[in-house]
C-alpha cells in the first residue's frame, strides 16, 4: 500500500475532529495537548510529512518528553500518540502496525499515586474566590461538596438522585 503525503498538523486536526464528538472536553483538551507536544517535537526535527515518522522518532519523542514532564504524564501522552498513529495508519499516512511499536512509558506504582494535600488555607482561598466570582457554578458546588464531605471525586461522580433525601 502506498503511503499518502500527510502534514502532521493536518493529521492532528483530522484526528481531533474525529474524536471531538465522542470524548469529553477534558479528554479532548488532553489529546490536543499531547499532540501539540508531538508536533512541536516533529517541527524541531524538520519533519513535515507523517511518512517520515518511524518508531525511532517516536522513541526520541518519548525521551524528549521525559526531559520536561513526569513519567505518568509521558505515559499518558504516549498512549495518545499511539492512538493518533493508529488513526494515521487508517488514512495511509504511516505504515500499518507502527502504533504497535509505541510502548507507553513504564511508571512505578509510587508515581501513579498523587499524595498532594490541600491545606485548610488553600481550600479557604479557593472557596472564597469561587464564592465571590463563580457563585453556584459547577466548580464552586463541586469544590464545596468535596471539601465539606472529604469524599473523593469518584464518589461525587457516582452520586445519583436517589442517593439524596
Q: Supply the DSSP string of 111-164, one letter for each residue.
A: HH-------HHHHHHHHHHHHHHSTTSHHHHHHHHHHHH---HHHHHH--GGG-
Per residue in 45-94, pLDDT (tens digit) is: 999 999 999 999 999 999 999 999 989 899 999 999 999 999 999 999 99
Distance (Å, whole) CA 95 – CA 86: 9
pTM higher than 0.75, yes or no? no
What is the longest distance spanned by two Cα atoms in the chain? 63
pLDDT in tens, 136-146: 999 999 999 99
Q: Which three cell numbers stand for residue 133?
A: 466570582
Q: Given a cut of 90, is residue 160 above it in pLDDT?
A: no
Amino acid at each position: 500500500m502506498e503511503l499518502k503525503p500527510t502534514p502532521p498538523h493536518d493529521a492532528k486536526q483530522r484526528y481531533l475532529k474525529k474524536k471531538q464528538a465522542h470524548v469529553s472536553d477534558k479528554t479532548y483538551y488532553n489529546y490536543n495537548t499531547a499532540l501539540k507536544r508531538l508536533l512541536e517535537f516533529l517541527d524541531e526535527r524538520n519533519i513535515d510529512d507523517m511518512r517520515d515518522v518511524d518508531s525511532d522518532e517516536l522513541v526520541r519523542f518519548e525521551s524528549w518528553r521525559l526531559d520536561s514532564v513526569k513519567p505518568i504524564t509521558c505515559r499518558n501522552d504516549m498512549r495518545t500518540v499511539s492512538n493518533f498513529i493508529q488513526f494515521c495508519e487508517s488514512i495511509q499516512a504511516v505504515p500499518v502496525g507502527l502504533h504497535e511499536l509505541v510502548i507507553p512509558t513504564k511508571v512505578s506504582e509510587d508515581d501513579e499515586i498523587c499524595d498532594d494535600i490541600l491545606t485548610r488555607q488553600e481550600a479557604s482561598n479557593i472557596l472564597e474566590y469561587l464564592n465571590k466570582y463563580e457563585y453556584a457554578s459547577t466548580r464552586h458546588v463541586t469544590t464545596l461538596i468535596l471539601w465539606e464531605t472529604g469524599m473523593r471525586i469518584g464518589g461525587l461522580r457516582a452520586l445519583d438522585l436517589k442517593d439524596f433525601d
